Amino acid sequence: MENYQLDCRNSNEYFEIQRDIDILTAQEIHEETVMLALRLSDGIDRDVLGEKADILLTKFKDYVVENDGKIALNNGGMDVMNHILVEIL
């Protein structure tokens, strides 16, 4: 951000950009991490999910796979990802 500040043509441009930046809480960062990781075929570490991992592996067992301590959505899980996220977040 500092480099960008130097590249701004004037202070108004810099402050306009600053106004568009959201500061996330720890909870929001966790939720974003889970949402983004579940979109990847690699999945997310079981430890990051905590107790929510058990919900995924039981309630949504037909939609997830677990491999080497990571939980990922299978093809069917990708299709219903939003429903799964609502349940675990």
Beta-bridge mates of residue 64: 73
What is the SS3 string spanning the chain? CHHHHHHCCCHHHHHHHHHCCCCCCHHHHHHHHHHHHHCCCCCEEHHHHCCHHHHHHHHCCCCEEEECCEEEECHHHHHCHHHHHHHHC
Q: How confident is the model at residue 10 (pLDDT cuts 50, 70, 90)?
A: low
Query: Which residue's structure tokens are 């905590």?
Result: 50
**What integer pLDDT is reported at residue 60 of this predicted model?**
96
Q: For 19-66, how does the pLDDT look when each residue is reduced to its tens digit (9 = 90+)?
A: 667 788 999 999 999 999 999 999 999 999 999 999 999 999 999 999
C-alpha distances in angstroms, 75 versus 28, 79, 81? 26, 7, 10
Please give the domain boundaries of the chain with CATH numbers for all domains: 25-88 (1.10.10)
